[in-house]
Amino acid sequence: MAVGIFDSGLGGLTVLDAVAKRLPEVPLVYYGDNAHAPYGVRTADDIFDLTTRATERLFDAGCDLVILACNTASAAALRRMQEGWVPQGKRVLGVFVPLIEALTERHWGDNSPPREVGVKHVALFATPATVRSRAFQRELAFRAIGVDVEAQACGGVVDAIEEGDMILADALVRSHVDALKRKMPNPDAAVLGCTHYPLMEEVFQDALGPEVKVFSQASLVAESLADYLERRPEMRGPGTESAFLTTGNPKNVSNRATQFLRRRIEFVAA
């Protein structure tokens, strides 16, 4: 009954933590491709190759369902994977859909034509690769019209968080928010389009101001996964053990992950 959670580094641990709290009975196998992080500066083909390799490893670990808890992988690789790579009987899901459901207040099963929604001006903070893909705007257009999206590529933020330099991460976030505000002075809402960014949510909110509603992914993905498994219980894979896998140095990654979640996490080599 295991579910796989993949990220290029440590950011997906925010999703894992939320899923573990929402579905404590489900074993979770986490795969961090720390040796190749960050993905945000890689080409689409490179991201696809690395993501499929990681997903295959999670399938081998007894996960029939894998969550790409990495916005860059969701943006650059997911559609290509779903169209021609995912084996029969397996599922790979991304993290954009729950976010857009919350932003537009529409369930993804609602297939009525796009319509106007409450928000009109949305700030998207994401990695350079996610911004280049325009995947968020494409998925949003299926459900909403009249929404102006201004994307800001947040270079350096993931690296700073992965290295545990939260002072630098704070400064970079504020710099990126300032750059966004020069293009869109008064956003209605802000989307934190990277699973690392929830760790900086308070900084984003402070820099944006209290009038801007900030949408962060972890709890939204956890709730969406719970709903999906209730509707599709057969997608609970045969795995019975939770695990943390990494392509990086297990000791170093374990130490950073422990600081990240503030509880002891033990990674093993993938």
For the chain, domain boundaries? 3-94+218-269, 97-215
197-229 pLDDT per residue, tens: 988 999 999 999 999 999 988 989 999 999 999
194, 199, 220, 257: which is the annotated catalytic residue? 194
Q: Please state the rounded mean pLDDT for residues 103-119.
A: 82
Look up the pTM and report it: 0.88
CA distances from 143 to 92, 114, 155, 221 (A): 21, 4, 29, 18
3-state secondary structure of 86: coil
pLDDT of 109 > 70? The answer is no
> Structurally, what CATH architecture does the domain formed by 3-94+218-269 represent?
3-Layer(aba) Sandwich (3.40)
Residue 162: pLDDT band by 50, 70, 90 thresholds?
confident
Consult the annotation and say whether 30 binds a ligand: no
Consult the annotation and say whether 72 binds a ligand: yes
Consult the annotation and say whether 175 binds a ligand: no
**Active-site residue 194, yes or no?**
yes
* DSSP letter (8 states) at residue 25: T
CA-based R_g, the chain, Å? 18
Tell me which amino acid residue 163 is. E
Consult the annotation and say whether 40 binds a ligand: yes
How many CB atoms sit inside 10 A of residue 163's CB?
11
Residues 41 and 128: beta-carbon distance below 8 Å: yes
Q: Please state the rounded mean pLDDT for residues 234-253.
A: 95
* pLDDT for the residue numbered 153: 96
Consult the annotation and say whether 71 binds a ligand: yes
Q: Please state the rounded mean pLDDT for residues 83-97.
A: 94
Q: How far apart are CA 252 and CA 258, in angstroms?
A: 10
Bridge-based pairing of strands 268-269 and 243-246 is: parallel
Consult the annotation and say whether 197 binds a ligand: no
Same fold, 3-94+218-269 and 97-215: yes
CATH number for 97-215 (one of 3.40.50.1860, 3.30.70.20, 3.30.70.141, 2.40.30.10): it is 3.40.50.1860
**Active-site residue 63, yes or no?**
no
Residue matched to tokens 């002891």:
264
58, 70, 191, 225: which is the annotated catalytic residue? 70
Lowest average pLDDT, out of 36-50, 56-70, 106-120, 134-148, goes to: 106-120
